[in-house]
Structure 1
Amino acid sequence: MIEKTSFREEIRMALQVRPYCAELEDTVKNLSHKAWILFKYNKDFDHQRMSCVFNEDGNLICVGYLRHGIADAHDVFEIEMPTNELASNRMNEVRKALYPTFINTCQKLRNPNKKTKLVAWKDFYGDREFYEEIGFIPYQTYVIAKRSIEKIIPGVITPVGVNVKFHSMESKEERIKYTELENQVYQGVVYRSLNMLEWMMGGPELHTISAFEGEELVGSVMCWQTGAVERLFVIPRWRNKGLGKFLITKGFEYHIKNGRNEIYTMVNEQDKEAMLLL
């Protein structure tokens, strides 16, 4: 039997979306520490609006916001939707509630002289069918590569002509150079700003290993306490000389030293050189 629901009951049953405000700081912190520190300490997020989704009982179940990336031909807004267990069985409702907000935010922040792409990770934030129904199309595919480091790691010869070391990036000039070079290599894939780099360096989790030819930065890899290695890059002049493999190996050594037994990374399926290396 199907019972007709009154209009008042429908309103009561609907999720509520509200803008983030200072009064919600502790509530958001309890749901997503990452989202809280992004909006509190990362200058990239000063101009963006976080949206908070509440259930019928007034409990926060999700925060939605956009990460803004810049490439030559287009801008990218990447959907972030941290949730808690109260949202686990109603993700489509959450997506439907937040989608108009995401579109409005894009309209406010986009560069009218560039193409704008709104992207969502279908593996993280929901089923493909939902996004395809509202007009999303496949954009980029990433795969996760994992490796046990309990097994013996084959020896790798140090490439001649480079000095590989921990890269503290203590000066702003160093951080600017790093960000510019990293984005040249990753052009059109995943953009990272100086603000994002400085925000990541503010905690204990990040360890960056870089290769230098004299004073010139020619390659790098980042390691995280979670066991991740990411953002491996080598400038074109130094490719096919074993530097990428050597940097990955130094990342292995860092994780072994810190007691981890498995590492992982994500790689863009279109990056054939990285796929082959990994």
Structure 2
Amino acid sequence: MVDVIPSVIVRRGRVEELDRLEEVYREAYRGLEEYADTTTFRIRNYLNWLYSGEPEGFFVAEVAGQVVGFVSIHAQWWDKRLGETGEIHEICVHPRWKGKGVGRRLIETAIAYARRRGRRYVSLWVGERNWHARRWYRSLGFEECGVQFGEWVRMIKPIEEAHDQ
């Protein structure tokens, strides 16, 4: 059973929070360093790239005032098979908060963001040996589309249109 934390707040991230997100990133990639930047310099450059590429697509999850995860999506990414797509470049949740619904809330927020910008798909790359993440993405409706780039596997998810209530 998933222990869902009802007090998770997902909001737009702020540039002044990027340094604090370094710890979330490091902890989320513990044991998966083959897929991660590992030096402070590279991590901070990467976080800055994620944020500056589309600040309005950078969201953080907060519990009791503490940032416990983040997601970065660029809604005008070009994929030669899909056209414009919402590209999820990164999602990280601190291990203490995994399995509590934080990641799901972040993904749902990213998908809603892409939908509002008229995208029909969200897409991402996941490490080929990151079996846990691959299963999790499949449980959220992502499918592996048969494209691989080095150790990265491509996954896509059609976005359902929002229906008026």
Output the CA distance in 2 between the equivalents of 1:268 and 1:243: 21
Q: Which amino acid aligns with 1:257?
A: R
Partner of 2:96: 237
| Structure 2 counterpart SS, 1:165 | strand
Tell me if structure 1 keeps the 8 A contact 2:51–2:58. no
Q: Match for 1:257 among 98, 110, 116?
A: 116
Query: Percent identity, aligned pairs only?
Result: 25
The partner residue of 2:36 within 178, 190, 215 is: 190
Q: Based on CA coordinates, which of the two structures has the bigger radius of gyration?
A: 1
- The alignment partner of 1:228 has SS state of strand
Shift of 1:197: 2.5
Matching residue within 60, 64, 75 for 1:214: 64
Gap change, CA 1:222 and 1:274, over 3 Å in 2: same
TM-score normalised by the chain length of structure 2: 0.63
Gaps of 5+ in 1: 1-157
Bigger relative contact order (CA 8 A; separation at least 6)? 2
What is the Cα deviation at residue 204 of structure 1? 3.9
Q: Could you tell which deviates more after superposition, 189-198 or 262-271?
A: 189-198
CA RMSD of aligned residues (A): 2.1
State the partner residue of 1:160. Answer: 6
Question: CA distance change for structure 1 residues 214 and 223 in 2, over 3 Å: closer, same or farther?
Answer: same
In structure 2, stretches of 5+ residues that fail to align are 78-85, 138-165
Greater strand proportion: 2
Which one of the candidate residues 179, 182, 195 is aligned to 2:22? 179
* Deviation of 1:275 (Å): 1.0
